[in-house]
Amino acid sequence: MEGVDEAALSGYINEHHANRMLAEIRRLTERGIWKFPYDRFICVRMPEEGVFLINTSRLTGVNGLDGRSVSDATVRGRRESFELLELMRKHFPGFRHAKLRCIAALPGIRETRRIDGKFTMTVRDLREGTRFADTIGFCCYGWDLPDPNRPSYQPMTEQKIAIRNDLIPLPFRIMQPQKIANLLCPGRAVSVERDVLGPVRVMASCMAMGEAAGTAAARPELSVEALREALRGRGCIVDVPAGH
Ligand SMILES: Cc1cc2nc3c(=O)[nH]c(=O)nc-3n(C[C@H](O)[C@H](O)[C@H](O)COP(=O)(O)OP(=O)(O)OC[C@H]3O[C@@H](n4cnc5c(N)ncnc54)[C@H](O)[C@@H]3O)c2cc1C
């Protein structure tokens, strides 16, 4: 959105400790005005003054494997964006004169299928800080995978389940399907327990996995250790840095 009055927005947030507008949304919900399944407002300031990314809406009941369902979500998401826009203009400080600049062409989908890999990384691995000899990168992110029906609820965070290390190793085998040769699946298709996808699915770890998968695909003769060495040679982080 553009034309956001930043002074009004940040002034209000600071004065009322209104991070994510939780109390405001609660009041709007009680009055029957806020009908969305999520209850927090997320906006990110873009480099240009008065321009914000509104990363707020969460669609439930979408099957990312079904074209019809994704089309339906696209229409629903657009409709909902305009509803949210009206509410923001009326009720959120700083947005009275804001305008919609653009909406994503397609809805982002957090998860669909994952492969059955040569190794499946589990919640237990994260809790115990398991190290892997075939590490090709790391992720450094916490649990972040909402309950599909309650999109503001993060089960693992709410249950205060601890991740042992702030660097979570990414083993090469989670990208290798058990039964299909000549295929590597980096990104959110990797072989992990569902909750493990929370930290692993983010962009930085997808980039690390993509780099490793691309290198391995180009040089299939490499052993895993030689692959790690090739990645090291290009500045990839494949070893736990000193002090961790
Ligand atoms: C709403 C939302 C917010 C997020 N916010 C963040 C965030 O703030 N920070 C963060 O780090 N991560 C965030 N993520 C997570 C992250 O963006 C994704 O998990 C990550 O991009 C997944 O990468 P990927 O390569 O596995 O899949 P994708 O990025 O989805 O890439 C798959 C690509 O394959 C293409 N494709 C599909 N089918 C075909 C085909 N048949 N032929 C050719 N191409 C095809 C698609 O068009 C797409 O470009 C967010 C995700 C969502 C949904």
Structure tokens at 192: 């992990």
With pLDDT > 90 as the criterion, what percentage of the chain qualifies? 86
Instruction: Please indicate whether residue 65, judged by its CB atom, sits closer than 6 Å to ligand 1.
Output: no
pLDDT, mean over the chain: 94
Q: Any idea how long the chain is?
A: 244
Instruction: Please indicate whether residue 67, judged by its CB atom, sits closer than 6 Å to ligand 1.
Output: no
Tell me the CA–centroid distance for residue 205 and ligand 1, in Å: 12
In the structure, what pLDDT confidence band is assigned to residue 241 with cuts at 50, 70 and 90?
A: confident
Residue with the nearest Cα to atom 31 of ligand 1?
Answer: 187
Predicted confidence (pLDDT) at residue 148 exceeds the cutoff of 90: no
Predicted confidence (pLDDT) at residue 243 exceeds the cutoff of 90: no
Residue with the nearest Cα to atom 8 of ligand 1?
Answer: 202
Cβ(191)–Cβ(114) below 8 Å: yes
Instruction: Please indicate whether residue 110, judged by its CB atom, sits closer than 6 Å to ligand 1.
Output: yes
Instruction: Please indicate whether residue 188, judged by its CB atom, sits closer than 6 Å to ligand 1.
Output: yes
Tell me the CA–centroid distance for residue 188 and ligand 1, in Å: 8
Ligand 1 atom with the smallest distance to the CA of 206 is 23
To test the pocket of ligand 1, the residue of 43, 106, 140, 188 to mutate (highest count of ligand atoms within 8 Å of its CB) is 188
Ligand 1 atom with the smallest distance to the CA of 108 is 53
34, β-bridge pairs: none
Each residue's pLDDT tens digit, 20-74: 899 999 999 999 999 999 999 999 999 999 999 999 999 999 999 999 999 999 9
Tell me the CA–centroid distance for residue 201 and ligand 1, in Å: 9
DSSP 176-228: SBSS-TT----STTSSB-GGGHHHHTSHHHHHHHHHHHHHHHH-TT--HHHHH
Q: What is the pLDDT, as a whole number, of residue 149?
A: 87
Per the model's pLDDT, the better-predicted residue between 197 and 18 turns out to be 197
Tell me the CA–centroid distance for residue 189 and ligand 1, in Å: 10
Q: What is the pLDDT, as a whole number, of residue 70?
A: 96
Tell me how far apart the alpha carbons of residues 151 and 140 are, in angstroms, rounded to a whole number: 22
Name the residue with tokens 């609660």.
26
DSSP 65-83: T-HHHHHHHHHHHHHHHHH
Cβ(42)–Cβ(20) below 8 Å: yes
Query: Where are the chain's structural domains?
Result: 6-91, 123-233
Long-range contacts of range 127-134, CB-CB < 8 Å, 24 or more positions apart? 127/161, 127/162, 127/163, 127/164, 128/164, 129/164, 129/165, 130/169, 131/169, 131/240, 132/169, 132/171, 132/173, 133/224, 134/171, 134/172, 134/173, 134/224, 134/228
pLDDT mean over 204-232: 97
- pTM of the predicted protein model: 0.90
Instruction: Please indicate whether residue 70, judged by its CB atom, sits closer than 6 Å to ligand 1.
Output: no
Predicted confidence (pLDDT) at residue 220 exceeds the cutoff of 90: yes
